[in-house]
Amino acid sequence: MKKFVYTTCEMCTGRCPLMVEVLDGEVKHIWGNPHVQGGQQCCPRGAAAKALLSDNERPQHPLIRDGERGSGKWRQASWDEAYDYIADRLKTAKEKYGAKSILLSDRGGPMTEFERTFLAAIGSPNYFNHHATCSNSVHNAHMSIAGHARNSVDYDYENCKYMVLFGRNIYESIKTTEAKTVMDMQEAGGKMVCVDVRWNYTAAKSDKFFIIRPGTDYALTLALIHQIIKDNLYDPDFVNRWVLGFDEIKRFTIPYTPEWAEKETGIPAKEIIRIAHEAGEAKPAVIFHPGWMTSWFSNDYYLRRAIYTLNALMGSYETKGGIYINKKPGEVGLKYRTLIGQIPKVKEERFDGVGTKFPHLSDQWGLAQMLPHAILNEDPYPIKAYIVMRHDPLASLPDPDLMKKAFAKLDLLVSIDINYSETGWFSDVILPESTFLERTDHVYVRSGSGLTPHLTLIRQAVKPRFDTKGRGEIFKALADRMGVGQFFPYNSPEELVAWQLEGSGYTIESFDATGVIEPSKEQIWYDRKDGIKFNTPSGKIELISSMLEKHNIPSFIPYESPPKPAEGSFRLVTSKVAVHTQGRTTANIGILNELYSENHLWMNTEEARKLGISDGDTVEVSVEGYAKKIGAKLTDHIHPEVVFMLHGFGDTVPLRTKSFGKGVSDIRLQRGLLKTAVGGNCPLTECVVAVKKTAA
């Protein structure tokens, strides 16, 4: 018998709406949800979730370490034994050092309530997620300038007439609906300008492509602001009504002319002027895309603030073809309960310095890069236990060896995952989570649904193949043992959903037909004259941020030219391809692995020739004595100061036989970059590597 189950994809953090075709109790095919995205399109990673399900090289039952940490020696345990093991150690940590000695991190996003509720219920403030190596700088920049999280706004690509991408690889680091809609925009005549340090498939599809000198995007944005103001290309009504600090930014950008920026960026002044004018003509249906994975440089915060400034000048906010604020379910009369909403926020001092050492940064996503410092120095206090929920610090943050040294000091390290993560391999306990096809989670507001707010969820399509459990059951069981089970008022996912929707007029069956509860298809747009909600102290877009000024942090900083790497040295830049995400979910899936099983080092042809390197040669890439061999791939279309490799390779877990040992790990080369830049990001592209030819 065939049936369709509507759910949410969890192969990457894009979380696209899916329709799972189930035949006689087995997954037959995974499609996009046509009721939400207007078609069954689904990217290769989502489609390959069927192969994830049938993969036997993932944890199949709870495991407790049976040897040194990281030795790979495990014993199979029952769930009760594993829960008791964890709860006993958590209780000891809490009694001796307080609940704040317990940390928890995940990958962020809308499906994080179980773990955040658990942590808050036991009394720890120390939730954080992976964004230190992803979008912290753009998130914090937007918080400071508009009072909005990076993802509490979205983009109306469909109606956009002109979009500028700064390193946002929209056609390779893909979200299905985003890629499809941007393609629709291009087909309808919308123009796309791509600025990147290297050519990629997004560049190949753009109307204009500029290779920019690495680290100079800020110079480009300053020159664009300069030109837009100089030639009166901005939206005066929007700026007068909603923007504070226009005169200051005008004065500040006077010296930053396109001619000056040409020398810094390598992009001709006339092209910079052209972008300013083309955007000015297309406004307000213009998007200067602020980026997504933005852990680039120490000054990245100011680049992102400048990009948002460009959008503010264009009047792009809350207009067709621009940036819109995501509307909330309450605005269409949709009421639902959340688990986390039942618990007051824990107000104790955080481990990562957010709110103390870093008063201007958001605690929403925290600072994962502070882990080793906090654990090793007990600063600001001792840390004893760490629960890693579908997050892999040892595979995603720089300096994994330092991280391991810190983890060795913990009394408890738990990994909850569908895969053997590198952190999991170093843990005391691995709790195997059911894949998103095998479990039901809580109801949440779908991000990207901001014009017509709607609820959705991850919903079980098939029974678990192995002795795995859903996160809702795992955290409830741990909460029960910690004496805070009352915050998990359910005995099954169905009971939880019923509790969440109580009094709303909807039930879990309301999701059956389309996968969403969407009271109205009518788009909500706030009034551009009086109705836009910017959550800054002034209620406006603050180019001069009152919050930053209060903390004596400048709202803009002068541009500093980045140093050119020495001869034979290059900046290491990374990105993704469509078939792989952050490596851990997709790398070991056979049908994806066969398309990309290892990464290569992209180099500028001319620079490579100077070093005697030909296409396909083996090269040694090294930093401070740490060296790895990798195949070279030469291209004319990469900046001479840059080398590039895909992120997520160099797997160290032997049980993952398809990805183990394949390719090179970028994070192991990012030595010494476990830093907190002003935007809360690790400055990952400040990594400079030496490259030389070597024997294969």
Partner 1 sequence: MSIYYIHQSQKRCIGCRACEIHCKTENDVPVGPRFCAIVPVGPKVVENVPRMNFIFMPCFHCENPWCVSACPTGAMQKRAKDGIVFVEPSLCVGCKSCITACPWGVPQWNRDTGRVFKCDYCRHRVDEGLEPACVTGCTTKALKWITPDMASLDKREKFAREIAENLPY
> Which of 35, 208, 337, 481 forms a contact with partner 1 (CB under 8 A)?
208
Burial of 110 (0-12, 13-18, 19+ CB in 10 A): middle
* Minimum CB–partner distance for residue 262 and partner 1 (Å): 16
Q: Choose the stretch contacting partner 1; rule: CB under 8 A; options: 96-104, 204-212, 238-246, 436-444.
A: 204-212
* Minimum CB–partner distance for residue 187 and partner 1 (Å): 7
Amino acid symbol at 421: S
Q: Report whether the peptide linkage leading into residue 284 is cis, meaning its omega lies within 30 degrees of zero.
A: yes
* Minimum CB–partner distance for residue 54 and partner 1 (Å): 10
> Which of 118, 209, 296, 506 forms a contact with partner 1 (CB under 8 A)?
209
| d(C-alpha 349, C-alpha 683), whole Å | 25
* Minimum CB–partner distance for residue 134 and partner 1 (Å): 21
637 binds partner 1 (CB under 8 A): yes
What secondary structure does DSSP assign to 650-662, as a single string?
-B--TT-TTTBT-
Which among 126, 186, 601, 166 has a CA at the least distance from the CA of 380?
126
Query: Cβ closer to partner 1: 39 or 672?
Result: 39
Query: Cβ closer to partner 1: 28 or 230?
Result: 28
* Minimum CB–partner distance for residue 640 and partner 1 (Å): 16
Tokens 């993560």 sit on residue: 421
* Minimum CB–partner distance for residue 186 and partner 1 (Å): 8
| d(C-alpha 76, C-alpha 86), whole Å | 15
| Sheet arrangement for strand 208-211 | 208-211, 191-196, 162-166, 286-289
| d(C-alpha 587, C-alpha 280), whole Å | 43
Query: Cβ closer to partner 1: 188 or 254?
Result: 188
String of contacts with partner 1 for each residue 166-185, x by CB under 8 A: -----xx-x-x--xx--x--
Query: Cβ closer to partner 1: 186 or 452?
Result: 186
* Minimum CB–partner distance for residue 194 and partner 1 (Å): 9
β-partners of residue 104 are 127, 387
Query: Cβ closer to partner 1: 253 or 586?
Result: 586
| d(C-alpha 573, C-alpha 241), whole Å | 40
Query: Cβ closer to partner 1: 186 or 569?
Result: 186
Query: Cβ closer to partner 1: 299 or 588?
Result: 588
Query: Cβ closer to partner 1: 383 or 573?
Result: 573
* Minimum CB–partner distance for residue 203 and partner 1 (Å): 7
Q: Element (H or E) spanning 218, and its range? A: helix 217-230
Amino acid symbol at 657: T
Tokens of 550: 């209060």
Which among 187, 190, 225 has a CA at the least distance from the CA of 208?
190
* Minimum CB–partner distance for residue 635 and partner 1 (Å): 8
> Which of 203, 261, 667, 674 forms a contact with partner 1 (CB under 8 A)?
203
Query: Cβ closer to partner 1: 223 or 638?
Result: 638
Which among 15, 12, 182 has a CA at the least distance from the CA of 516?
15
160 binds partner 1 (CB under 8 A): no
* Minimum CB–partner distance for residue 213 and partner 1 (Å): 17
String of contacts with partner 1 for each residue 5-34, x by CB under 8 A: -----------------------xxxxx--
Angle value at C-alpha 425, between 592 and 422, nearest 5 degrees:
50
Q: What is the 3-state secondary structure (H, E, C) of 465-495?
A: CCCCECHHHHHHHHHHHCCCHHHCCCCCHHH
Q: Report whether the peptide linkage leading into residue 380 is cis, meaning its omega lies within 30 degrees of zero.
A: yes
Which among 211, 167, 160 has a CA at the least distance from the CA of 181?
160
Q: Choose the stretch contacting partner 1; rule: CB under 8 A; options: 506-514, 550-558, 588-596, 646-654.
A: 588-596
* Minimum CB–partner distance for residue 235 and partner 1 (Å): 29
String of contacts with partner 1 for each residue 327-366, x by CB under 8 A: ----------------------------------------
> Which of 205, 320, 337, 409 forms a contact with partner 1 (CB under 8 A)?
205
Query: Cβ closer to partner 1: 40 or 338?
Result: 40
* Minimum CB–partner distance for residue 591 and partner 1 (Å): 5
Query: Cβ closer to partner 1: 195 or 397?
Result: 195
Radius of gyration of the chain, Cα coordinates, nearest whole angstrom: 25
Q: Choose the stretch contacting partner 1; rule: CB under 8 A; options: 143-151, 310-318, 325-333, 586-594.
A: 586-594
188 binds partner 1 (CB under 8 A): no
Is residue 143 a contact partner of residue 151, using CB atoms and an 8 Å limit?
A: no
CB neighbours of residue 76 within 10 Å: 13
Query: Cβ closer to partner 1: 207 or 549?
Result: 207
How far, rounded to the nearest angstrom, does the alpha carbon of residue 460 sit from its chain's CA centroid?
A: 25
Q: What part of residues 591-630 is at the interface with partner 1 (CB under 8 A)?
A: 591-595
* Minimum CB–partner distance for residue 596 and partner 1 (Å): 9
Which among 393, 360, 320 has a CA at the least distance from the CA of 128?
393
Query: Cβ closer to partner 1: 182 or 573?
Result: 182
Q: What part of residues 34-93 is at the interface with partner 1 (CB under 8 A)?
A: 39-44, 47-48, 50-51
Query: Cβ closer to partner 1: 403 or 592?
Result: 592
| d(C-alpha 327, C-alpha 18), whole Å | 22
Which among 364, 392, 397, 403 has a CA at the least distance from the CA of 134?
397
> Which of 93, 361, 403, 578 forms a contact with partner 1 (CB under 8 A)?
578
Query: Cβ closer to partner 1: 2 or 345?
Result: 2
How far, CA to CA in Å, does 124 sit from each of 115, 526, 579, 654? 11, 37, 37, 35
Which among 257, 265, 197 has a CA at the least distance from the CA of 228?
257
Is residue 128 a contact partner of residue 102, using CB atoms and an 8 Å limit?
A: no
Specify the pairing of strand 286-289 against strand 243-244: unpaired
| d(C-alpha 155, C-alpha 450), whole Å | 10
> Which of 80, 95, 207, 512 forms a contact with partner 1 (CB under 8 A)?
207
Size of the site for partner 1 (CB under 8 A): 42
Query: Cβ closer to partner 1: 28 or 250?
Result: 28
For residue 191, what are the contacts with CB-CB under 8 A and spacing of at least 6? 161, 162, 163, 207, 208, 278, 282
* Minimum CB–partner distance for residue 594 and partner 1 (Å): 5
Q: Where does this chain bind partner 1 (CB under 8 A)?
A: 28-32, 39-44, 47-48, 50-51, 171-172, 174, 176, 179-180, 183, 186-187, 199, 201, 203-209, 578-579, 590-595, 637
